[in-house]
Amino acid sequence: MSRVSSAASGSVGLIWRVVPPGVFGLGRGRRMIERNMRVVRRMWWIPVSGMAEPVFYLLSIGIGIGKLVGGIPGPNGTVVPYAAYVAPALLAASAMNGAVYESTFNVYFKLKYARIYDAVLATPMQAVDVARGEIATALTRGSLYAAVFVIMMAGLGDIHSTWAILALPAAVLIGFAFSAVGMAATTYMRGWTDFDLVQLVLLPMFLFSTTFYPLSTYPRWLQIVVECTPLYHGVSLTRSLTLGWVGWTDLVHVAYLVVMGAIGVAVAGRRIRVLLLS
Amino acid sequence: MPPALRATGYFALAYRRTWRGSLVSTFVSPTLYLLAMGVGLGSFVNKGAHTATLGGVSYLQFVAPGLAAAAAALTAASESTFPVMGALKWTRTYFGMLATPLRVGDVLAGHLIWIATRVTMAVGAYLIVMAAFGTTQSIETLAVLPAGVLVGMAFATPLAAFAATQENDSAFSLIFRLGMIPLFLFSGVFFPISQLPLGLRVVAYITPLWHGVDLCRGLTLGTLTAAALVGHAAYLAALAAAGYLVATRTFATRLRT
């Protein structure tokens, strides 16, 4: 909540001015990223501690719960160590959490309290630039977290396939889908108490989207419910990549997340225009 | 009515307007955690070869009291950081209270009593959910309620003392990410700390959450020795008392200006 805008200028901002327009397809959205980068320079410890958090989870599961569980049988009958089974799911879940917190709590604070978007729209920037810029910021941060996470996984021996190279873009895709929908949801929020609903959606997804144990644990009707949730598709995608369980169904997972993100961007852009310019 | 309770009354009145939102974190998350970890993950742990290290109980029985202790600590931590900062800087409620006959000590004690109430609600919710899952064998399990409040206070008083020295909330996210989350993951909630390497195990023995987890687990499973009970309770009470003494000073310094 303490994201005050700072007047600090410097090299980070300069990069975004020098890079030719259109390279990222963001147009004026790049100015929004520039603004966010300048703010984070004053609070560098927030992203740094954010990188540490999933690492604690990896270590705890490796040392502790992994030893208690032993192994989980894969689709081709081979048993994988529990830590290697859970790690890609935590990658997907942390991509989701990071994207949702950034696009709900932070965006809401900027929208209602800091009034940053009102100021932004007083410039030649348009509502869609704000939406694109904010989602791109969330993606940049998410990519950074995911890269650290994948490197840690490799260090702990949790990666079993060269497909794992694609786990990073997969995590970014998950982050994109969730931050787009999160931002669209934020524009409907009436007050802080509505954010408990965010928690109500995130926690069951985190716990039940095959994050900690396979889909076969559930009765069939519950399996169908789980298969409809977005995090299930994210977890299945990252897991198949790091464990080498790649198949055509991965394209379904990718398509689900792409469509979800596209809908989110469209709704968020339209809603911000309604909220701020009417 | 003692003056401190009038301050508590303010927080209770404010909560009556917003309690619906906290139902999710208070009741829904214990149910979901026990289902996912205790039942779902537990089905794999119980099939594994390591149930002896759990003391021969099912994983659900092992993890439930640990989660209750962790819920006490996490509730206390979130109630004693942001709300204290809010009452100092955002809504300035403390200053409103001091404009009445209430004194600084009343304000601090009143807020801490309210935090203890919220911790009681969180631990009580866990006990209700645990009973529904059939993991509460004896009437002694009810002792987890005061034990949980003690755990909560061991976190609440030092954190409130710290929160009163802060100018903004940016340190709080560090406390949660680098303090509460590692404690949650490595204090024996999900696995016995005998599995930790020696260095980390020594750290776990020093941290308050391990004492809370061991205390609540021992009370639930009926395995607590008298020495362990006294040791854990004395450690947590000493921490809560020390935090309270520091808090009286930081509150006095902050609110006198």
Nearest to B32 among A57, A59, A207 (CB): A207
Q: Is the pLDDT of residue A5 over 50?
A: no
Q: Kindly indicate the confidence band of residue A143, based on its pLDDT and cuts at 50, 70 and 90.
A: confident
Chain-chain contact of A196 with B25 (C-beta, under 8 angstroms): yes
Over the stretch A159-188, which tens digit does the pLDDT of each residue have?
999 999 999 999 999 999 998 899 889 888
Q: Kindly indicate the confidence band of residue A18, based on its pLDDT and cuts at 50, 70 and 90.
A: very low
Give CA angle at B196 (B190, B201), nearest 5°.
105
Q: Kindly indicate the confidence band of residue A25, based on its pLDDT and cuts at 50, 70 and 90.
A: low
What does the block give as tokens for A195? 């954010």
Nearest to B174 among A45, A200, A217 (CB): A45
Predicted pLDDT of residue A276: 73
Chain-chain contact of B41 with A70 (C-beta, under 8 angstroms): no
Between positions 217 and 246 of B, the ones with CB within 8 A of A are none
| Mean pLDDT for the stretch of residues A142-154 | 88
Q: What is d(CA A277, CA A261) in angstroms, rounded to the nearest whole number?
A: 24
Q: What is d(CA A183, CA A111) in angstroms, rounded to the nearest whole number?
A: 11
Size of interface A-B (CB pairs under 8 A): 99
| Mean pLDDT for the stretch of residues A137-156 | 86
Q: Is the pLDDT of residue A22 over 60?
A: no
Over the stretch B36-56, which tens digit does the pLDDT of each residue have?
999 999 988 888 777 777 888
Q: Is the pLDDT of residue A16 over 70?
A: no
Q: Kindly indicate the confidence band of residue A68, based on its pLDDT and cuts at 50, 70 and 90.
A: confident
Question: Chain-wide mean pLDDT for chain A?
Answer: 83
Q: What is d(CA A100, CA A181) in angstroms, rounded to the nearest whole number?
A: 8
Between residues A234 and A63, the one the model is more confident about: A234
Between positions 182 and 221 of A, the ones with CB within 8 A of B are 193, 195-197, 199-200, 203-204, 207-208, 212-213, 217
What does the block give as tokens for A210? 């095959």
What's the average pLDDT block by block, 10 residues per block, for chain B (257 residues)? 91 86 79 91 82 84 95 95 92 93 94 96 93 83 94 97 91 90 93 90 92 95 92 97 97 87
Does the model's ipTM exceed the 0.85 cut?
A: no
Predicted pLDDT of residue A265: 84
| Mean pLDDT for the stretch of residues A75-80 | 82
Predicted pLDDT of residue A21: 43
* pTM, 2 dp: 0.86
Over the stretch A39-48, which tens digit does the pLDDT of each residue have?
888 777 777 8
Predicted pLDDT of residue A32: 85
Predicted pLDDT of residue A15: 47
